[in-house]
Chains A and B, each alone.
Chain A
């Protein structure tokens, strides 16, 4: 019976590779046309949408940053007024954190985790499609609001009571709070998928200690999302309830407390930084390994360091609140905890450099960005150590020193690795190489421009310049360095334009990449570029952490999965022994429709609390249809997705 045909065999006879491929292509086809485009559940397709969407938001938020730099380029500049400026920096921060940094890391996970695991699909592919749509709608909502002058203006941290009903009239902050709901819902869904994929869908033989460091970092990130994001969802719910239905969570006069917001927000907000940073560590490990042609030195230390960072990241939130007058002894504890996190970070840095020491570095663009990452990020880490100290923080808190610090951490620690990853994996995603020449330009303009833009801010902060000011007086002595900083920002913008040119040009005209252009060791390179919908024609059998370096002639694989049904193999958590054959969901339009229903409910609830009740009905219907099994069930099994 053909429905039971599996790769390698057909009714006991061998299927040749051609036939296998043809059948798999047919079985896993995502279809054509706009309906198919909205229905796709292919994790790579969804991830590409994440990439593009997040990059567009990155670009837009970058434009806002440029506007702010123009405004600050001289004292008493009248280019932008306070109302717009406040919206600009709020939008810049919110977009960069919620609509760019986290989603692009999630997108990266959605694309590469299944490939590195050697599986055919991500766990819960329909949920994955749903989470992308929710993210997209949330982002669009925020930016449409901004275009309509309903842009939030209370800062990306939205401290109460400034963001509360009395001091933020209108709907601006409500849109911000709902955007949080959208993106966190999306993020939480992705986290569940990543955990399930990594724990249950690794290729047979890929025991935990053979997992690439990239997978470890994504696993830690996913766990951090699970435990950090509920906090901000709760906080933003409290906020929007204070604003819309008159609760008193943050109203001191009625027993509420303004600092409750800060605790909840930073209990999320600090892990958030690590949620962005830890995947970047995974990228760096992958790139360093591939471009020095060595396995990463000290693999167990690296894994332990990642996990340690994940845990410690939850113990630091109070260091954002040293100036609020909390008990000093408690604060000192957070100083110590914040400093301790430098140890695992230091170990990681050491292990990468040690790998470079042993291996034969190849100075391609990805490695350049990694070197840039180390040079820039370590500065950010060290200024972080300074800020962890209570007395230092009393002086430096909320100054431009902090602005410099976290841009060194986030651009250094996330954007540089992301660009390394972009140059590294673009061939896998598109099948073509990015231009090395433009890549080098991209790197040097970014590296130089970034330092020109942000290094002077350290000094500005020490010179007393506070954050979030739309202008500053003449005679305060802040003019010239601000101008320098603006020049640097322009250089960064040029660098990003070079990147865009490179990305667009190479899509059509880049050199063909082939399956493994860098001779990298992990499983995503064991399949053609770009990978087929089903990722792997045969499920790899893994015997080491660097399977493609171990096997040069032939790749050990397992046969036996169906070629006529969407199937993948579940393995055991620790040793990755094959355990269960799991059906995979087919494309469906219902995640998209559900996302619309949920989005409509969220947006309507800004205007009336009743929307939560009435809006949940269409959402429930849509989600039910999504889960309801379709078609006649086969004798003993049918496709579906929980």
Chain B
């Protein structure tokens, strides 16, 4: 796995190693660019990007002429970088291993340096990507997580949107919880859900608690908002700007 270091706070974005997971054919040949390569130009990302699904018009900006130069210069680099990753649609799993390096630990509270790094990487990769989070939301319904945890408020299973975690609330800990199952009713989905989908689920679960960049989180659902009378009352009392 290849990682690049940041040129500043928040700017680091781990990129995956070259691998056979390009879903779209190479646009290079047509002289088209990739916005992620625009990131490259800033020396941030690694040599290989995952999804060549963007034409960069940074060089062809809409106003042309004198406005263009000024305008390009004014682009906040940080915004550019985060946007590149946040909005990509990743259809294929990364080629490097995405299995947490630390093994089964029920408490999940102690983590070594390597696993901290890994955790950071997975958080950026999944929590920071709107498509992953939204896929996680879809799978949450598909695999009936909803059946026990409701919309995060908890039912027969524990709530997922508060800060209390029995088995750890970090993304890799949630991953392990899903994969391994937990006593008192949480089934083990290891082998039943492909790894990338588990990460997406974990990222969505994290986003329920307000983790991850706000701009990557999902909006409201397209189904009933109220799972229970309690949830209903809560909403009546205090309308939230960020409904689940």
* CB-based contact A140/B63 at 8 Å: yes
- Could you mark each residue 20-35 of chain B with 1 if its beta carbon is under 8 Å from any beta carbon of chain A, else 0? 0001110100101001
Q: How far is the CA of A148 from the CA of B130 in the complex (A)?
A: 14
A392 to chain B, nearest CB (A): 33
Tell whether, in the assembled complex, residue A254 and residue B224 are in contact, meaning their CB atoms are under 8 Å apart.
Answer: yes
Which residues of A lie under 8 Å from residue B89 when comparing CB positions? 83
Q: Are A165 and B219 in contact (CB under 8 A)?
A: yes
Does B62 have its Cβ within 8 Å of any Cβ on chain A? yes
With CB as the reference atom, state the residue of chain B lying closest to A63. Answer: B60
Contact flag A165-B131 (CB < 8 Å), given A143-B57, A143-B62: no
B55 interface residue (CB < 8 Å to A): yes
Of the candidates A60, A80, A166, A608, the one whose C-beta lies within 8 Å of that of B62 is A60
Contacts of A83-111 to chain B: CB distance below 8 A: 83-84
Bound together, the chains give a CA A151 to CA B89 distance in angstroms of 12
Q: Are A149 and B54 CB-contacts (below 8 A) given A81-B24, A84-B24, A171-B130?
A: yes
Who on chain B is nearest to A153 by CB? B89
Stretch with Cβ within 8 A of B (4 or more), from A241-249, A368-376, A511-519? A241-249
> In the assembly, what is the distance between CA of A145 and CA of B82, in Å?
12
Contact partner, A166, options B38, B222, B241, Cβ 8 Å: B222
How extensive is the interface on chain A, given as a class? 35 or more
Cβ–Cβ < 8 Å partners of B131 in chain A:
169-170
Tell me if A149 and B242 are in contact (CB < 8 A).
no
B228 CB-CB contact with A under 8 Å: no
Is there a chain A Cβ closer than 8 Å to B97's Cβ?
no
* In the complex, residue of chain B having the shortest beta-carbon distance to the beta carbon of A70: B30
**A53 to B219 Cα, complex, angstroms:** 34
Q: Given that A80-B24, A144-B75 are known contacts, is A170 also in contact with B57, CB under 8 Å in the complex?
A: no
Report which of B62, B83, B224 forms a contact with A149, defined as CB distance below 8 A. Answer: B83
Question: A607–B25 contact, CB under 8 A?
Answer: no
For the A-B complex, the count of residue pairs with Cβ-Cβ distances under 8 Å equals 137
Given A144-B75, A147-B57, residue A171 in contact with residue B240 (CB < 8 A): no
Is the pair B63, A169 in contact by a Cβ cutoff of 8 Å? no
Whether, in the assembled complex, A79 has its beta carbon less than 8 Å from a beta carbon of chain B, the answer is yes
Distance between A177 CB and nearest chain B CB, rounded to angstroms = 12
- With A148-B80, A149-B88 already in contact, the answer to whether A169 and B60 are too (CB < 8 A) is no
Cβ-closest chain B residue relative to A139: B62
Are A80 and B27 in contact, CB atoms less than 8 angstroms apart? yes
Contact between chains at B63 and A242 (CB < 8 Å):
no
Are B222 and A165 in contact, with the CB atoms below 8 A?
yes
Mask of B42-78 contacts with A, CB within 8 angstroms, 1/0: 0000000001011111101111100000010001000
Chain A hits for B55, CB < 8 A: 67, 84, 147
* Bound-state Cα–Cα, A251 to B25, Å: 37
Tell me the bound Cα distance from A78 to B63 in angstroms: 31
Q: Are B62 and A57 in contact (CB under 8 A)?
A: yes
Residues in chain B near residue A146, CB distance under 8 A: 57
Decide if the interface of chain B is mainly helix, strand, loop or mixed.
loop
Interface string of A243-261 (1 = CB under 8 A from B): 1111010011110000000
| Docked CA distance A151–B56 (Å) | 11
Q: Are A251 and B63 in contact (CB under 8 A)?
A: no
| Chain B residues within 8 Å of A243, by CB | 219
| Cα(A83)–Cα(B55), bound, Å | 12
Contact check, A147 vs B61: say whether CB atoms are below 8 A apart: yes
* Stretch of B2-10, B158-166, B210-218 lying at the A interface: B210-218
Complex-state Cα separation, A140 to B60, whole angstroms = 12
Residue of A nearest to B86 (CB): A170
Complex CA distance for A70 and B109, rounded to whole angstroms: 54
- Nearest CB of A to B141, in Å: 10
- Chain A residues with CB under 8 Å of B60's CB are 60, 63
Max chain A Cβ within 10 angstroms of own Cβ: one of B27, B88, B219, B221? B219
User: Can you list 30 residue pairs at the A/B interface with Cβ under 8 Å?
Assistant: A52-B64, A53-B63, A56-B64, A81-B53, A83-B89, A84-B53, A84-B54, A144-B61, A144-B62, A147-B38, A147-B56, A147-B58, A147-B61, A148-B35, A148-B79, A148-B83, A149-B84, A150-B83, A165-B219, A166-B137, A166-B221, A167-B222, A169-B130, A172-B87, A243-B219, A245-B242, A251-B221, A253-B224, A607-B214, A609-B241
Give 5 closest A-B pairs by Cβ, nearest first: A165-B219, A81-B24, A170-B130, A169-B134, A246-B243
Interface residues of B (CB under 8 A from A): 23-25, 27, 30, 32, 35-36, 38, 51, 53-58, 60-64, 71, 75, 79-80, 83-84, 86-89, 130-131, 133-134, 137, 214-216, 218-225, 240-243
